[in-house]
Structure 1
């Protein structure tokens, strides 16, 4: 599994102008099964995406197509981990 953090590096107004494209990009990768969860950080300084494990290079290519990244308003950082313990309701995560 991958945890992706997005860090906003430009003013929020610039991000908000790209939000429709970013949301369409997220929906596309939820439909493909790559993304499992996502949302804003609190306070609003970036975002977080949980992605399925697999090909890191392919994930990096997907992240590079995020409108936020393409426009230079956000940067990404990726952490890969293997869940070894979960709450009962999230056992499925160990198989991803």
Structure 2
């Protein structure tokens, strides 16, 4: 299994109206729920200062991650781009170690 830290960043200016953005964000959150339900997403959340967010997930390959992100409503609507970093797990708090095994 491979581990990935993903940073999403909104394009500026955001290419949709505030109402559309709110709807797309709701769709995005629902889309991410699949990863939590299936256990391959550890966390996600918005960045504190700017549009976009952070996701930590595991997958069999970078290609799987890229396909998942390509189907994300924020990506499909042209609101957000992604930067993906693959990393190797070294150590962590006891509460999360089992997720990495």
- TM-score, normalized by length of structure 1? 0.85
Unpaired segments ≥5 residues, structure 2: none
Report the RMSD for the aligned CA atoms in angstroms. 1.9
Distance 1:27 1:87 in 2: 23
Unpaired segments ≥5 residues, structure 1: none
- The answer to which of 46-55 and 82-91 deviates more is 82-91
Counterpart check, 1:70 vs 2:76: yes
Q: Give the CA deviation at 1:94.
A: 4.1
Counterpart check, 1:6 vs 2:5: no
- TM-score, normalized by length of structure 2? 0.81
Q: Hey, which bits of structure 1, 4+ residues long, moved more than 6 A?
A: none
